[in-house]
Amino acid sequence: MPIDRLLPVVAVAALLTACAPQVTLRVQDFGSGDERLELSKTAFFPSTERASAAAALATLLYTDGLTTVGPGQVAPLLGKKTAVPALRTEMLDLARRFGRLPFVLPPTLNAVLAEVRSGQPVLVFQQLDGGRYSVVVGVDPAGNRMILRSGKDGRVYQPVDEFVSRWKGGNAWAMTLNDGNRVPASATQDAWIAAGEAATAAGYPGLAEKGAVAAIARWPNAVVPWVALGNARYAMKQWQTAQDAYVEALKRKPDNPVVRNNLALVLLERRCISLAEEQLQRAVSGETDPRLLEAYDNTRALINRYSGTAIYCPPPDDASAPIEYEIAPLNPETPRAPAAPRRATSPPKR
């Protein structure tokens, strides 16, 4: 088709775009409600743009009960040469170091307002000047404004259009935190479990354990929170309680090969070699994803390494097994250590 025949169409489209009315955002459309809300007990630490990260994180930590923490305790732990936007990663790890489980919100205004409505201030990054971290503490529907602790002002009213524009300019990044015992209002199961997994990977499995327990309370019939609890306790070398969590997961989904592999690893640590081999075999026979077979091969290699250390263990799902059959944990550094003393040496009679 000749180019000149397209020109009228392009011109009309451009005209229609130019005439399109601007849509004004309304906070009520994002779940704000109609009443003004401000979390007035939220702490406030004035700051410049460069110091805004320390001040904003200290605001959340102090408000969550760490009343001895202020910007003076946070700032020295942040990279002095780290670009302001890149401080987001450091802030997540710092929250964990202070004993809090951080949660990065979905990039929606609905999520931010859901947290504020639940009583949780939200730390946000906005593309303002060189970038600034602020804390959302409320909403003013009558004025169509967000309420923030920001810069040198303890109460900043920001029109929602301006807030969203600057926030999206910073990739719509927002976070909240707590001690792990409360699932954030905006969190899905997978997102909250992922926050716990990140804590474990960073060396804080205790936070992941708390988060998993909170997830079980929120989603009592789900499998994943029980698996997460087992993984956290495995990382903490709490073999028996990790085993218990995996067994609970299997009660909800008996044909889950990954959980059976994890259970095999726990049984291995407890020197229940034959039971570990049984669980691994069930995992391999039930697996349909060939990408996971390598992980199962690694488990088999570990089992082979521990050969010769087997002692009797009751089946992991045997609730009637007497307490004298509980096995002391095996020190991973000494896989061929002598068997721990025990009061029974044969299987219980049925």
Q: Pick the residue with more confidence: 348 or 99?
A: 99
Please identify, among 178, 211, 227, the residue that sits at the C-terminal boundary of a domain.
Answer: 178
Can you list the pairs that 144-150 forms with residues at least 24 positions away whose Cβ atoms lie under 8 Å?
144/24, 144/25, 144/26, 144/27, 145/27, 146/27, 147/38, 148/124, 149/42, 149/43, 149/44, 149/56, 149/59, 149/121, 150/52
One domain, residues 202 and 164: no
Query: Apex CA 332: angle with CA 327 and CA 333, to 5°?
Result: 130
Quickly state the pLDDT bin for 121 (edges 50, 70, 90): very high
SS percent in the chain: helix, strand, coil, step 5: 50, 10, 40
pLDDT digits (tens, 9 = 90+) for 176-224: 999 999 999 999 999 999 999 999 999 999 999 999 999 999 999 999 9
Mean predicted confidence (pLDDT) in 270-296: 91
Using pLDDT thresholds of 50, 70 and 90, give the confidence band for residue 145: very high
Model confidence at 268, pLDDT cuts 50, 70, 90, reads very high
Output the furthest CA–CA distance in the chain (Å, rounded).
Answer: 94
Structure tokens at 302: 């570990």
The reply to whether 44 falls in a domain is: yes
Structural domain that includes position 147:
27-178
**Highest mean pLDDT pick, 125-129, 245-249, 341-345:** 245-249
The CATH number covering residue 296 comes to 1.25.40.10
Among 150-159, 205-214, 333-342, the range scoring the smallest mean pLDDT is: 333-342
Q: What is the pLDDT of residues 61-80, one digit of tens each?
A: 999 999 999 999 999 999 88
CATH number at 88 reads 3.90.70.10
- Domain boundary pick from 178, 203, 222: 178
Asked if 108 and 203 sit in the same domain, the reply is no
233 and 118, same structural domain? Answer: no
**Do 120 and 76 fall within a single domain?**
yes
Query: CB under 8 Å, gap of 24 or more: what pairs does 345-350 form?
Result: 345/312, 346/312, 347/312, 347/314, 348/314, 348/320, 348/321, 348/322
pLDDT at residue 308 in the model? 60
Out of 150, 178, 206, a domain closes at 178
Provide the domain count of the chain: 2
In a shared domain, residues 76 and 170:
yes
Same domain, 113 and 159: yes
Residues 172 and 212 in one domain: no
Residue 185 is predicted with a pLDDT of 97
Please check whether residue 332 lies inside any domain of the structure: no
Q: 140 and 238: one domain?
A: no
Same domain for 238 and 145: no
Residue 235 has pLDDT above 80, yes or no: yes
Q: Give the Cα separation of 148 and 124 in Å (integer).
A: 10
Q: What is the share, in percent, of the chain residues with pLDDT greater than 90? A: 70
Q: Is the pTM of this model over 0.85?
A: no
pLDDT tens, position by position, 45-64:
999 877 999 999 999 999 99
Is 233 within the bounds of a domain? yes
What pLDDT band is residue 259 in, cutting at 50, 70 and 90? very high
Q: Do 134 and 65 belong together in one domain?
A: yes
- Cα dihedral sign for 8, 13, 14, 18? positive
- Is residue 154 located within the same domain as residue 283? no
pLDDT for position 133: 95
pLDDT at residue 312, as a whole number: 61
**102 lies in a domain?**
yes
Q: Is residue 4 part of a domain?
A: no
Same domain, 32 and 174: yes
> Which pLDDT band, with edges at 50, 70 and 90, does 15 fall under?
very low
